[in-house]
Structure 1
Amino acid sequence: MSPPPRILLCGDPLGHLNQLFKRVQSVNKSSGPFDALLCVGQFFPESDEGIDEVADYVEGRCSVPIPTYFTGDYGAGAARFLSKASNLGFKTDGIEVCANLYWLKGSGKFSLHGLSMVYLSGRKYPDAGGRGRYSEDDVDALRALIDESGIVDIFMTNEWPSGVSEGADTTDALPAVSDPWGSDPVVAELAAELKPRYHVAGSKGIFYARQPYSNTDSVHVTRFLGLAAVGNKDKQKFIHAISPIPASTMSAAELQSKPLHTTSSPYMIAAKPERTGEATKRPANSDIDVQYWRYDVSRKRQRQGGPERLCFTFTSTGSCSLGEKCNFRHDTDAREQYLRNVCFDFLNKGKCERGPDCRFTHNVVDEGVIPQRTRTNGGRKSSGKNCWFCLSSPDVESHLILSLGETYYCALAKGPLVQDHVLLIPIEHHPDTLTMPSEAEKELGIYKNALSTYFKNQGKAVVFFEWIFQGIPHANLQGVPIPLSKASRTLFAFNFAAKQLEFEFTVLSKSSDNTEGRNLLRSQFDGKSNLFYAELPDGTILSYATDDKNKLHVQFGREVLAGLLKLTDRDNWKKCVSKEDETKMAENFKKGFQEFDPAR
C-alpha cells in the first residue's frame, strides 16, 4: 500500500509569498517531501504595496515550490492576477494561475492524491472592492454533494464555522476563539451537513486545533483547524502538516475509531434543551441563532418567524437519500414551482438577494403557465414537450448527455458519424446559437476550446457546423473530430459540395480561434434567415444564407464530412442508430473528456 499523502495547511497568505514559500521549502527539507500546500483565508495583499511580490510568482520571476491551492480570491491585485485565469474556463480541481499555483474558484469537489477535497471559496461578505464573496449557487452546489457516496476528507473554507468551539475545552484557547468575528453561520451549516474528516479555515488571525467531534449519523469524527495569517505579529502558527489516509481506503474499524476527549458536534449543542427544559438562549439578533435551528434532529424546532427550510436536493431532483432523517422540508408543491422556474431562494426564504441578476421568477406560478425567463442550469427551462433536446422532455435521450454546463450541455450525436461526434446544445429552448446571450456565447467558446484540446491530444482536429432555418425546434452546434491529416482538406470538401449545389460560401474569418469571424457572424445574423455555417480547423468560417431552406439538405454538413472521411454509408444518422453502441461511446467519451470538461 502506498504511503498516505503529506499535506501542508496554511492560513491567510496576505500576499506574503516570499515568507510563505521560504517556510514551505524549509519544512519540506526537514520533514518532507510534501505533496501539496492548501491555503485558506485571504491570499492576496491587504494593500497595493504587496502586489509586486505576488507578481513575481504569477509572472514567472519566482517559482512556487510545491503544488499550491488557494480559496481566498480577494485582496489587492486579486482582479488583476485572476482575470486571465478566469478566461480559462472552470475546473473544480483548480484553475492554473501559474506553474504550481491553482485557484479554487467558487465551490467544488475534487480528488487530490486520493483525498476527497471539498471547498468554498470567497467569504460571506465581499472586500472593499466588492470581491471575494461566495454566491448562493456556490453553497447550493455543495449541498448537492451531500447525497453523493463517500466521505469528505478535507473541507476548505476561508472563514470559521460559527460556534465551532461550542462544547470544547477552551481553557487554554485565546478569547478570539469564541469571538463571532470572522465566523460564518453558513459555513457552520455546510460543515454539519458535509461532515468532513478535516475542516480547515483562516481569516480569524489565530491558530486553533479543536478537539475532535463526532458527527450525527456518521461513524467518523471531524477535526477542525483554524490557522493564523502568514507573518502575523503574534507569532501564531500559520502552517500545519497533516498526513491523512484517504477515507476511501480505510477500514470500517479505522473510520469508527474515536480519539480520547472526542466531543459532541458543536452544531447540535445550540439545539439541545437545558435542564430547565428551555433551549439554549442566544441574542435575538444573533446570526448563530438564525442558523442553528436547522440542526435539530427531532425536527420539532421551527425557526422563529417562519417554517423550516426546504431541502435543496429534494426540490431540485425530486428525491433525497436521507429520507425522513433529512432536517429539511421535502415539499412537492415547492418542487413543482421550482420546475416552473420559480427562484429557490424565493421559495425557501420568501426573498431573493440577487436582485435583477437573478434569472428566475419571484412569484408563485399558476399551473400550466411557463415563464418566459428560464433557468440555465440544472435542467429547468421552457420547451416544447416533444423536443428531443429539451432536458425536461420525455423524449430526451439522456444516455447521450456528456456534460452539463450553465447555458449549454454537450451530448453525443444520435447515430454519430464517427466516434466522439458531439453536439453543443443550449439548455434553454432556442432556435440557434448565434442569437444566444453574450454569457452563453462565452461558455460555448469554452466548451469548443475544451473539445479542440481533447481531440488534439488524440491527433484529431474538429469541425463545427450549424444549419439554422426557420421552424427548427432546438439549436445544436455539431462537432465532428477528423484526423489531422484530413484537416487541410476540409475547405476543399465544403467548396466542392457548394459547387455541386451551385452556390458559393462567404468566407468570414481565418483566425486561430474563430472568434473574430463568429462575432461578425453574430452581428450580421438577424435571427430570421436560413443559414448554414462551418468553423474549420484552420480558423476559416464559411457561411451561406438562403431564402430557400430546401436548398441544402438538413444533413448537408454531415454529408460533406462523410465524403471527406470516406464514410458515405454513414451520411444519415438513421443508418447508425444503436442505443447500446451509443451508451458505450458516451461512457468512454466522458472518461476521456473528464479532465477537459468545463463543467467538471
Structure 2
Amino acid sequence: MPAEEIEARKDTRILVIGKVQGKIRPLFEKISQYRNKIDLVFILGDLFDSKTSFRQDTIDDVDALIDGNITVDIMTYVVVGDSPLPPKVLQIVESSAGQLASNLVFLPKRCFLKISADGLTVVVLGGRLNPKTVGKMANNYTPYYSYDDARTLKGERNVDILITNDWPAAILTRSVYQSVEIDIKEQECIADLCSSLKPRYHFSSSDAFYQREPFVHSDSVSENTEYWMTHFISLADFQNEAGERSSFAFVHKPANAGPVLLSTISQTATSSPLSLVGSKRKAGASQESSHRFATETRHDRRANKRQKVPPVTTDTCFLCIASPRADTHLIVSVGDQVYLTLAKGPLITRKAFPLLHFPSHMLLIPLGHSPSIAAMSPDDRKVVYLEMQNYRRALQKMIAIKSNSQFGAITWEISRTTGIHAHWQFLPVPVEHIRGGTLEAAFKTQGEMDRYPKFQIRDVGDGSEEHTDFFRVLIWHRDDSGTDSERSLILPLDGSFRFDLQFGRKVMAKLLNLYDRADWKECEQTKSEEDADADAFKAAFEPFEASLAEESA
C-alpha cells in the first residue's frame, strides 16, 4: 500500500472511531459534523457488517458509497477488522490502492502510513492472528494476519499511532484498571510489536471502552531521563447498545513527538507491562516454536543439538542449473559462465512498472557451485565476475532504453564464505529514487535501525581482496545526456552482528511501498504465470542478449 500523503497542518486533528458493523449512513452523517474541526478519521474495522452483507439495504449503502451518493467529507481510513469485505468492495479496493470513494481508503491489514512530510506516522496490523495464514488468506484485505506480518512491521521507527485489531498481551498488568469485563483477544506478538515501535498512541477494539494509564517503555524510571510513552485506548463499536464510548479525538503535535522527560510524565503513568511478555522466551524465537519447544523433554533437546544439517551439493542446491530442484522454466538466458533467471516469488510483478511491460526482478547466477565469487579459484573468479558484470550491463541498457531513462537499477549481493550458491539480485528502480538519494538513504537508514555497522562507499570488485564477508549494493542510472552513473555501497559482515538475509528485499519493499510482498513465499505464482513471465522477458531481452558477446570480445 503506497504511503498516503495529504496536505496537513503541522498539528493534525484526528478522530478514531470503533468498528461500525454496517451503520454506514449514521457514521458518515456523524463525521460530516466534524467538518473543519477534524483533519483525519481512522475507523477500526468492519465498516460493513458481514451478517447483513447480502441484505438489500447494505447493498444499497455500498452502491451509494461507490457512486458518491453518501458523502465522505473528511479523509477517512478504514482498518481491517474481524469481517471480510463484501466481494464488490474487495474487487474495487484491490484494483485502486484501497480507495473505494473520494476521501475513503481501505488500508491493507499490514501497512505503514505516512501523512505529510514531517507529520504523522501510523502502523496498522488488522485482522485476527492465524499462524496458518497462507495463500488466499494472506492477501491484503483478509481478516487474518500471521506472526511474520507482525514481525515485518517491527523495523519501523518514530511511530505516532499503532492500530491493531488484537490487544497486546499483558496490557492490563501494572494497571489499577484491571477489573474490566471485556471479551478480548490478546497476543504476545502484538505486545512485541508495541514494545518495538513505542508508539505515542496504540488503538484497538473491544466490546466496551477501555483506556489504560500511559506507560513508559522501561522497567524502571529515574529523574532527568527521557522515556518513550504510550497511551493504550480500546474503543467500543460505533453506536453500541450499551452506550460505551466509541470514539476518541486528539491532536497530533509533531513538536511533542519523541521521548519525554520523567518530570513531564503524568503521575499515573506506569512502567511498561509489555516488558513482562515473553521474558522467559528465547530471544528471536517465534511464539509458535517457543510453545512447541516447551513440551520437549530434556532428552529431545540434547538430540536436537546433535543433529547436523547435511551439506548442500549440486544435486540438492536449487540454484544449480543441473539440480532436480532448479526451476528451469524460469531461466531466460544461459551464458558461458552465468545464467539469468526470473526471481521466484518476485518483489515486483509485470504490472508494477507499466513503462517496462515485462517482469524484471532477476537473479544472475554463476553456473558453477560456489558460496561466493570471492571463494572461486582466481581463473574462475575472473571470467565469472566479468560475465556477471556483462549480464548486469545488458539488463541496465535494456531498462534505460525501454523506459527512456526513467528507470535506473539496483543490484545487491550477499558474499559469504558460508553461503550456498553465489548470486546477484537485480531490480529496476524509478530514477527519482536514485537521483534524489532516496534509495541510498533507505539502505543506510534501515541499517541504522537494525543496528548494523555503517555502509562504506567503495568498489570491492570481485571481492577477493576483502578480509570479511560483505553485503554489496550497486546503484546505477543513466542521466539525460546518456551518461551512466554508478555508486557502490558495502556493508562488511564481520560476524559481530546477525545479518538478515532478506535485508535487501525488505528495504526495497519498503521503498517501493510493497509491504505485502516483502516475503517471497507470499508472492509465489502459478506455473502458467511464471511461464508467461519468462516468455515476456525473453522477448524483451533478446535484442540486448546479443550485446553480451560484444562485451566479452
Q: TM-score, normalised by structure 2?
A: 0.52
Q: Is contact 1:370-1:382 (8 Å) kept?
A: no
- More strand by percentage: 2
Q: Could you tell me how far apart the structure 1 residues matched to 2:28 and 2:549 are? A: 58
Q: Does 1:480 align with 2:399?
A: yes
Structure 2 matches for 1:28-107, cutoff 5 A?
A: 28-29=35-36, 31-32=37-38, 34=39, 36-48=40-52, 49=55, 50-58=58-66, 60-75=68-83, 77-86=85-94, 95-107=98-110
Partner AA of 2:124 in structure 1:
Y
User: d(CA) in 2 for partners of 1:51 and 1:265?
Assistant: 45
1:7 aligns with one of 3, 14, 21:
14
Task: Describe the shift of the 1:480–1:154 C-alpha distance in structure 2 as closer, same or farther (beyond 3 A).
Answer: same
SS at match of 1:102: strand
TM-aligned CA deviation for residue 434 of structure 1 = 7.6
Deviation at 1:383, TM superposition (A): 3.3
In the alignment, is residue 237 of structure 1 matched against residue 245 of structure 2? yes
Report the counterpart of residue 18 of structure 1 in structure 2: 25
CA apart distance, 1:464 = 6.4
Task: Kindly indicate whether residue 189 of structure 2 is the aligned counterpart of residue 186 of structure 1.
Answer: yes
* CA-CA distance at 1:180 after TM superposition: 4.9
User: What is aligned with 1:413?
Assistant: none
Q: 2:284 aligns with which of 284, 308, 311?
A: 311
For 2:127, give the aligned amino acid.
G
Amino acid at match of 1:139: A
CA RMSD of aligned residues (A): 5.2
Q: Give structure 2 stretches of 5+ with no counterpart.
A: 1-7, 220-225, 294-303, 333-341, 369-387, 406-524
Q: CA deviation at 1:211?
A: 1.8
- Residue 105 of structure 1 aligns to a residue whose secondary structure is coil
Secondary structure in structure 2 of the residue aligned to 1:6: strand
List alignment gaps of at least 5 residues for structure 1: 89-93, 272-291, 296-301, 303-307, 313-343, 352-361, 375-380, 386-427, 456-460, 487-518, 536-540, 544-554, 563-569, 576-600
- Of 380, 383, 389, which aligns to 2:319? 383
Kept after mapping to 2: 8 A contact 1:465/1:534: no
Deviation per CA, 1:123-158: give whole Å up to 9, x if none.
Answer: 1369xx985121122122123x1xx5x332110011
2:93–2:100 CA contact under 8 A, matched in 1: yes
Displacement of 1:484 after TM fit?
Answer: 8.1
For 2:550 and 2:351, locate their aligned partners in 1 and report how far apart those are by CA, in whole Å. 27
Displacement of 1:212:
1.2
Write the letter of the residue equivalent to 1:123.
R
| Change beyond 3 A, Cα 1:433–1:252 | same
Counterpart of 1:496 in structure 2 is none
> What residue is the counterpart of 2:299 in the other structure?
none
Give the Cα separation in 1 of the matches to 2:92 and 2:550: 42
Which residue does 1:356 correspond to in 2?
none
Q: Distance in 2 between matches of 1:524 and 1:155?
A: 37
Q: What amino acid sits opposite 1:366 in the alignment? A: K
Q: Deviations over 1:162-198 (max 9, x none)?
A: 442333343xx9x6x3545344443233323332110
Pick from 311, 320, 325 the counterpart of residue 369 of structure 1: 311
Distance of aligned partners of 1:214 and 1:368 in 2 relative to their CA distance in 1, 3 Å threshold: same
Instruction: Name 1:210's counterpart in structure 2.
Output: 212
- Structure 1, residues 219-264: CA drift from partner, whole Å, max 9, x if none? 12111111111121122222221112237x7476579731232122
Q: 1:573 to 1:102 in 2, by over 3 A?
A: farther
**Aligned: 1:198 with 2:201:** yes
Question: Structure 1 CA distance, aligned partners of 2:288 and 2:231?
Answer: 35
Label 1:84 to 1:27 Cα distance change in 2 as closer, same or farther (>3 A). closer
Map Cα deviations across residues 376-395 of structure 1 (whole Å, 9 max, x no partner). Answer: xxxxx95359xxxxxxxxxx
* Among 241, 254, 259, the residue aligned to 1:246: 254
- Give runs of aligned pairs for residues 146-165 of structure 1, distance below 5 A: 150-165=157-172
- Partner of residue 324, structure 1: none
Matches within 5 A, 1:259-298: 259-268=266-275, 271=276, 292=277, 294-295=278-279
Distance (Å, rounded) in 2 between the aligned partners of 1:95 and 1:370: 43
Q: d(CA) in 2 for partners of 1:102 and 1:185?
A: 29
1:354 corresponding residue in structure 2: none
Cα distance in 1 for partners of 2:20, 2:108 equals 17
Q: Distance in 2 between matches of 1:571 and 1:137?
A: 44
Q: Is 1:451 paired with 2:353? A: yes
Q: Shift of the alpha carbon at 1:82? A: 1.7
1:480 match: secondary structure: helix
Partner of 2:501: none
Amino acid at match of 1:451: F
DSSP 3-state at the match of 2:231: strand
**Match of 2:544?**
558
Q: Which of 171, 174, 180 lines up with 1:167 in the alignment?
A: 174
Q: Verify: 1:122 aligned to 2:122, yes or no.
A: no
For 1:483 and 1:349, the matched residues in 2 are separated by 52
Shift of 1:85: 3.2
Given candidates 230, 234, 239, the residue that maps to 1:226 is 234
Partners of 1:124 and 1:134 within 8 A in 2: yes
Asked if the contact 2:229/2:259 (under 8 Å) is kept, the reply is no
C-alpha separation in 2, matches of 1:183 and 1:346: 15
Normalising by structure 1, we get a TM-score of: 0.49
User: Separation in 1 of the partners of 2:47 and 2:160?
Assistant: 23
Q: Which residue in the other structure is 2:143 paired with?
A: 132
Whole-angstrom CA distance in 1 between matches of 2:352 and 2:148: 23
**Does structure 2 retain, via aligned residues, the 8 Å contact 1:67–1:100?**
yes
Of all paired residues, the percent bearing the same amino acid is 21
User: Following the alignment from structure 1 to structure 2, what is the Cα–Cα distance between the partners of residues 230 and 78?
Assistant: 19
- Cα deviation for residue 523 of structure 1 reads 8.8
Q: Please say which structure displays the higher CA radius of gyration.
A: 1
Change in CA separation of 1:433 and 1:87 when aligned onto 2, cut-off 3 Å: farther
Distance 1:572 1:7 in 2: 61
Secondary structure at 1:260 match in 2: coil
Secondary structure of 2:41's counterpart equals: strand
Distance 1:573 1:38, change over 3 A: farther
Higher relative contact order (CA 8 A, sep 6+): 2
Deviations for 1:188-221, whole angstroms, at most 9, x for unmatched residues?
333233321100011x122222221111177121
Distance 1:572 1:158 in 2: 58
Counterpart AA for 2:330: T
The count of corresponding residues between Structure 1 and Structure 2 is 363
* Paired residues for 1:354-365 under 5 Å: none
Displacement of 1:26 after TM fit? 0.3
Deviation sequence 1:274-319 (CA, Å, 0-9, x none): xxxxxxxxxxxxxxxxxx3x14xxxxxx4xxxxx23416xxxxxxx
